[in-house]
């Protein structure tokens, strides 16, 4: 059982690590359980000092860890540096704000003194994806650690060096061993880990299929779970959109992280009166997006994460074209070294085509034309997913209508959807449930204990 990372640009092996057998898993669970007995009693202000130290170390190592991320999953070096900096910023945010967020809430009642106290739950298992190797872990782990929990991280098998870096970062910052534990385990080892009485909750960011499996296991063993399962986010262009700004952000919204982001815009729904202009300008801009070595500052779009991901996206696009979808830019995988798929625009996609029914995890945009804003919102909601979406308009009435009616967990107006520590992150429908970040994420894996003094 070996965990191997392959550079998506060079197609060479980056690193290999041996996985844990049953004895190794048991040792990890013992360490986590033992560490929790200590960590839960550490004062929040002392946890904050350690978290600030972790941020300081990370800030000093941004170029190093950014190169590591680029080598293991192919994101551009610039994007990787931004991801690492965002992680450090979030560490500092919770170091500053968690103490007040965790204070007892005093609630008037028939008691002389009553309220709610937020206490940690215990070791929490995190099953993490590869597309943001540091950020996905940090946005869950940092608030959970500040709440007094310890974390067990089952990271994606193709970013093992990033997983080890995070574990080592917290140890070097002064966190006791076992407070953050990396688990090199296979999927078939997870049911036993979730079932273990020492594990008190589980969070997963990944596919809908994986989410259903984890939710079933967590429910069977009465464990709290949080699921972020991706989606097919709409980018709605209203009649009052400022087109220069809209087109520029549409390109970024689709190709960010090489098109491999849950919150990347995937369906571009444009009202008819602006559709011709948008399609023409958007297609031109997407056709000019450059691909290449992700370590090269001139590269805008790096490779997809793996050969398997490239083959899947290629099949989804080819099938849709065969059913009648029109290619306005890109359209097929690039030949040569690396797992490259160009920035692609498809229009006139049949409703039963794969590009219309499935999440496209790569730089492929599907453009739909709506009669008016009402129909645009209806089209946006006509999907089993509900993670996030955006609206592009200068008329406040158009913005308000989308915010009110869009059936998602997050709506952004005239801005690309993003995750920020101040605001809750999560979706609805088949995009999962529960929240990360903000005070909501901090309290997800706490016991809201009521106290009542007569």
Predicted confidence at residue 414, as pLDDT, reads 98
Position 230 pLDDT exceeds 90: no
Instruction: HSE, CB side, 13 Å, CA atoms: give it for residue 283.
Output: 17
Please check whether residues 220 and 239 belong to one and the same domain.
no
Please determine, for residue 33, whether its predicted confidence score (pLDDT) is greater than 80. yes
What domain range is 328 assigned to? Answer: 233-421
Residues 177 and 274 grouped into a single domain: no
Residues 77 and 212 in one domain: yes
Distance CA 103, CA 143 (A): 14
Asked if residue 1 has pLDDT above 80, the reply is no
Mean pLDDT of the 208-212 span: 96
Q: Is residue 211 part of a domain?
A: yes
At 122-166, the pLDDT tens digits run 999 999 999 999 999 999 999 999 999 999 999 999 999 999 999
Do residues 163 and 242 both lie within one domain?
Answer: no
Q: Give the CA distances from residue 335 to residues 11, 71, 112, 186, in Å, rounded to whole numbers and listed in that order.
A: 13, 20, 74, 33
pLDDT-derived band at 181, boundaries 50, 70, 90? very high
Number of domains in the chain: 2
Is 0.95 surpassed by the pTM of this model?
Answer: yes
pLDDT at 376: 98
- Mean pLDDT (the chain) is 98
Q: Flag whether pLDDT at 30 surpasses 80.
A: yes
Q: What are the tens digits of pLDDT across the range 287-338?
A: 999 999 999 999 999 999 999 999 999 999 999 999 999 999 999 999 999 9
For 357-414, write each residue's pLDDT tens digit.
999 999 999 999 999 999 999 999 999 999 999 999 999 999 999 999 999 999 999 9
CATH number for the domain spanning 381: value is 3.40.309.10
* Residue 171 resides in a domain: yes
Same domain, 392 and 446: no
The bridge status of strand 364-370 relative to strand 265-271 is parallel
Token pair in block for residue 127: 């099953």
Based on the fold, state whether residues 440 and 393 are members of the same structural domain. no
Please report which confidence band the pLDDT of residue 170 belongs to, taking 50, 70 and 90 as the band edges.
very high
Compute the average pLDDT of residues 428-447.
98
Q: Are 414 and 446 members of one domain? A: no
Residues 354, 375: one domain? yes
189 domain residue, yes or no: yes
| Same domain? 266 vs 384 | yes
**Active-site residue numbers?**
228, 262
Q: What percent of the chain is modeled with pLDDT above 70?
A: 100
pLDDT at 62: 98
Residue 426 falls inside a structural domain: no
pLDDT confidence band for 29 (50 / 70 / 90): very high
- Does residue 216 share a domain with residue 113? yes
pLDDT in tens, 384-398: 999 999 999 999 999
Do residue 283 and residue 380 come from a single domain?
yes
Please check whether residue 33 lies inside any domain of the structure.
yes
* Residue 100 pLDDT: 98
Q: Which two tokens stand for residue 303?
A: 């490779």
Q: What is the CATH number of the domain that holds 63?
A: 3.40.605.10
Do 31 and 84 have their domain in common? Answer: yes
- Whether the per-residue pLDDT at 28 is higher than 90: the answer is yes
């Amino acid at each position: 059982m070996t965990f191997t990372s392959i550079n998506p640009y060079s197609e060479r092996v980056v690193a290999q690590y041996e996985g844990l057998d049953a004895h190794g898993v048991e040792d990890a669970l013992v360490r986590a359980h033992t560490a929790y007995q200590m960590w839960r009693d550490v004062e929040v202000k002392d946890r904050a000092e350690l978290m600030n130290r972790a941020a300081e170390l990370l800030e000093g190592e941004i170029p190093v860890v950014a190169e590591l991320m680029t080598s293991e999953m192919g994101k551009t070096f610039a994007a990787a540096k931004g991801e690492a900096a965002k992680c450090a910023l979030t560490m500092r945010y919770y170091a500053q704000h968690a103490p007040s967020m965790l204070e007892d809430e005093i609630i008037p009642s028939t008691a002389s003194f009553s309220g709610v106290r937020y206490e940690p739950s215990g070791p929490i298992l995190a099953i993490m994806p590869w597309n943001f190797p540091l950020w996905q872990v940090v946005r869950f782990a940092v608030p959970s650690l500040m709440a007094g929990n310890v974390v067990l991280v089952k990271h994606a098998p193709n970013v093992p060096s990033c997983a080890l870096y995070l574990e080592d970062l917290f140890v070097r910052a002064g966190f006791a061993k076992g407070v953050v534990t990396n688990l090199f385990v296979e999927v078939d080892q997870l049911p036993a880990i979730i079932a273990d009485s020492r594990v008190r909750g589980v969070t997963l960011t990944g596919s809908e299929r994986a989410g259903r499996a984890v939710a079933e296991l967590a429910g069977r063993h009465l464990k709290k779970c949080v699921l972020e399962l991706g989606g097919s986010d709409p980018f709605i262009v209203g009649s009052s959109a400022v087109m220069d700004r809209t087109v520029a952000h549409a390109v970024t919204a689709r190709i960010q992280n090489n098109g491999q982001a849950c919150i990347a815009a995937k369906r571009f729904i444009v009202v008819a009166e602006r559709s011709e202009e948008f399609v023409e300008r958007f297609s031109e801009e997407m056709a000019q997006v450059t691909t290449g070595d992700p370590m090269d500052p001139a590269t805008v779009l790096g490779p997809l994460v793996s050969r398997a991901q490239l083959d899947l996206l290629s099949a989804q696009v080819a099938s849709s074209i065969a059913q009648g979808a029109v290619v306005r830019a890109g359209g097929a995988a690039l030949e040569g070294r690396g797992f490259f798929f160009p920035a692609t625009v498809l229009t006139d996609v049949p409703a039963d085509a794969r590009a219309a029914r499935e999440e496209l995890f790569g730089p492929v945009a599907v453009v739909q034309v709506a009669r008016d804003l009402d129909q645009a919102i209806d089209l946006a909601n006509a999907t089993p997913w509900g993670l996030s979406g955006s609206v592009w308009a200068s008329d406040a009435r158009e913005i308000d209508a989308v915010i009110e009616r869009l059936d998602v967990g997050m709506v952004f107006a005239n801005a690309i959807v993003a995750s920020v520590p101040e605001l809750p992150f999560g979706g609805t429908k088949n995009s999962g449930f529960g929240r990360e970040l903000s005070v909501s994420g901090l309290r997800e894996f706490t016991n809201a204990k009521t106290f009542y003094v007569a």
